[in-house]
Structure 1
Amino acid sequence: MPSLEQTCECGGSGELSAPRLRSDTPERAGLDPGEIRHLVEEFHALADGEHPWAAGAVVVVGRGPVIAVAEATGWAVRYASYDPEADAGVELPPEARVPMTVDTPFDLASLTKLFTAVAAVQQIERGTLGIDARVGAYLPDFRAAAAQGITVRELLTHTSGLRPELPLYDCADDEQRLEMLRSEVPIGVPGTYTYSDLNLLLLQQVLERITGRTLDVLVHDGITRPLGMTATGFGPCPGAAATEDQRRPWAKADRGMLRGVVHDENAWALGGVAGHAGLFSTAHDLAIFCRALLTGGAYGPARILGPDFVELLLTPPGLGFALDQRWFMGELAGRGAVGHTGFTGTSLVLDPATDTFVILLANTVHPRRRPSDSRPRAAVGTRVARAVRT
């Protein structure tokens, strides 16, 4: 595999730019082809049968600048609705289904949190946001957070004590939703870990207040545009993989079969742009994102963060990456990998020790949500860990 120096190009500033991704063989990526072959076989089985793990899925595996695996299986749209009496999806006729491709966009769900975290660290790097500053210094009208002394670091590490979520989708309007956030008092012990969407919603408010720009603009201008992630953005995204026939009692709103609009009920209530959910993207775009973080914040001629601030993101306890959530990584978890999952069936893993990344995107909530099953994700992570050649 070529060294970084051999494959770098020179940017306009004279600084070497990080090599762009290219597709090549597992051997060229330093991955064992036998393990990769088994990975691909097992991956295609995930969408097989009458009750598959997911209606469809996409997997991308890369090491260094090489994408060694890029595969799609199953259907982006398979069901017209969900039949609660039969406890099964109502299948579309074959000619009406939409096949999954490697370019299919997905509702990223909580992978959105990673982009919000990067946007926050960009402000920390610029000196406009203090990592240990109190949220109340930026949002004095958010009375409960201010009174409790919640800090930016606590939001980014899920140690604020805030509960996992609030029923913002039941509020009458945006002002009522904001008032609910302003008055929400932590219920946990500050400093202890409790994964919470509210942390990223408050962080969104902080970022928008200090920059005067909305989160979608911050993500576009600071991350996706410089990296060339042209398929990534907040919805609507009409060509995305379908998610859920969203109805009560199993969901929190009655919206019918969803495709191209955000699945998360709170993000939907907030207009589709939220710190915890709302982004759509493809596996290839996420590969660029992963590669930029693995190279210390650069991709091609673009740099979104300095290496020290990428290290801040990825080093335990991490910022936004919820580093104690490793159950879905398989044997990659033992190498110090970091990553995140999304409720709709999305996940990514970065392994800085071996310069490896794994992206598995699936519409596991199509036609309706089920108890989470991360065994297929863990199996992919284990295959990749065993495939890495030193």
Structure 2
Amino acid sequence: MLYAPGHVDCLPEEVGYDASRVDVLHAHFQKLMDQKKIQSASYCISRYGKIFMHGAVGPLSFRGGDEPLLPTTAHRVASITKAIVTVAIAKLVEDGMLRLDNPVGLFLPQFNADPFNKIDLYSLLTHTSGLHPDCASSLIPHHQSYWDRIGRYFETYDPADGELDWISAALGGGLSKKVGEEWQYCSFGFCILGEVIKKVTGVGAEQYVEEQILKPLGMQDSMFQLTPQLASRFIIRSERQEQRLKDIIEGKQAEASPAEKLWENIPSTGGGLSSTPADLIRFANMTLGMGKLGETRILGRKTVEKFTTRALYNTPDYCWGSNNPDRSYGIGFDMRRGSAFLYSPTSYSHEGAGACSMIMDPTEQLAAVWFVPFMDDNWHDEAIFNVTNIIWSGLQ
């Protein structure tokens, strides 16, 4: 097994954890690699703010070989980005610039028309806005996703026609449900939140996140646009990505078409961040610290309590074939419950496609982040749910 250890603050036993579970975790990752379900795995786990498990197993490249994945290897974190954007919204609430019950139309006039005028910031954060969920096109015949509509608009856009308005183009897809009727996971809604951040701060949402959250927390390996330095230690998932990373490292920028350049106007707040396990554990421990990491304050205690307390009750979840009559969810954070999980009922989390996971358990003061890059387009729940139980089983 290719294994690379990472920096730790203490031994597992020092924070009341059974060190033998590390071998169980590695064996589980190896089994998933042998089954060709994941390429490799990396993780960082802390208790009471101290990292006691940190490492990586498997190869750096999709081709295999002897070059190992490292704990410092960077990955795209996909929808874990939403957890960080949620904190950005929370900061603006603290500063009096937003309220969760504000209608989106207060900031973006495209939402002032029925039925969109009933959508507020709270419903976007809790995925109850009624906007079509991700991947709806695969479930609804002839459905045109918000992204498809934006893409076609960009292809025909002429500056002579007036100011760019990708939001109106997208909203031509309408709603799938009434506001608050169902939980439906919607990344487009978080792009709209990014546009709200831009509107009220006067800077791009990505810049706001970097200046107000990432830099203060010392998350130096977390960014929306890869630098050559971070690209040089990024996981290699495909030939196409390998070439893109090489171009970034060498300072080459392929010429984009006018339509492709227009996509830069869409906030990357739905899933555009890249990071490492150790960087994300700093964010996780900030939330467990009730808004503080060391002497750095990002949020106040009451704000963290509000956002990480269950917000939805008796809200059904039929998204992607689910049949859950009572979806447990916080404000921007998942609070999934059920017989499958060993973590405390107070726990909150976020996952990212392809895949990665970040879970915070305030009862046990345990935080865990792991990346398990899938080898195909299927969803392998044993790389997420089973890993959760292996990690939590070590608590003594």
Q: Give TM-score scaled by structure 2 length.
A: 0.77
In structure 2, distance between residues paired with 1:362 and 1:257? 22
Match of 1:372 among 376, 379, 386: 379
1:271-323: CA deviations, max 9, x gaps? 38511111000000001001100010111221110011111221112111132
1:235 maps onto 2:221 in alignment: no
Matched, 1:31 2:21: no
Which deviates more from structure 2 when the two are superposed, residues 374-383 or residues 173-182?
173-182
2:59 aligned with 1:72, yes or no?
no
Task: Please provide the CA RMSD for this pair.
Answer: 2.8
For residue 12 of structure 1, what is the aligned residue in structure 2?
none
Structure 1 contact 293–310 (Cα < 8 Å) conserved: yes
Q: Match of 1:218? A: 208
2:39 is the counterpart of 1:55: yes
CA distance in 2, matches of 1:352, 1:340: 15
Question: C-alpha separation between the residues in 2 aligned to 1:268 and 1:44?
Answer: 41
Matched, 1:101 2:87: no
- The residue correspondences of 1:108-119 to structure 2 (distance < 5 A) are 108-119=77-88
User: Is 1:154 aligned with 2:154?
Assistant: no
Alpha-carbon distance in structure 2 between the residues aligned to 1:268 and 1:161 = 29
Per the alignment, residue 151 of structure 2 pairs with 170
**Runs of 5+ unmatched residues, structure 2:** 1-6, 135-145, 158-163, 249-259, 312-329
Decide whether the 8 Å contact of 1:188 with 1:194 is kept in 2.
Answer: no
Query: Which residue of 272, 276, 280 corresponds with 2:274?
Result: 280
Q: What SS class does the counterpart of residue 292 from structure 1 fall into?
A: helix
Matched pairs, number: 334
What secondary structure does 1:359 align onto?
Answer: strand
Q: Note the C-alpha offset of 1:181.
A: 3.1
Alpha-carbon separation, structure 1, partners of 2:109 and 2:212 = 26
- Contact 1:29–1:67 (Cα < 8 Å) also in 2: no
1:342-381 matches, within 5 Å, as: 342-364=352-374, 366=375, 369-381=376-388
Indicate the residue corresponding to 1:11 in structure 2.
none
Any idea what SS the aligned residue of 2:13 has? coil
Q: Which residue of 2 aligns with 1:203?
A: 193
More moved, 167-176 vs 306-315:
167-176
What is the rounded CA distance, in whole Å, between the counterparts of 2:279 and 2:208 in structure 1? 17
Report Cα offsets for 1:197-234 as digits up to 9, x if no partner. Answer: 12101111111101111011111111011011000010
1:338 Cα offset (Å): 1.2
- Which residue pairs with 2:105 in the alignment? 136
Moved more, 338-347 or 121-130: 338-347
In structure 2, the CA distance between the partners of 1:147 and 1:216, relative to structure 1 (3 Å rule), is closer
Amino acid across the alignment from 2:60: A
> 1:330 maps to what in 2?
341
2:175 alignment counterpart: 186
Matched residue type, 2:303: F
- Identify the structure with the greater strand proportion: 1
CA–CA distance in structure 1, aligned partners of residues 299 and 81 of structure 2: 18
Could you tell me which runs of 5 or more consecutive residues in structure 1 were left unpaired when the two chains were aligned. 1-20, 80-90, 247-254, 262-266
**How much does 1:384 deviate?**
2.4
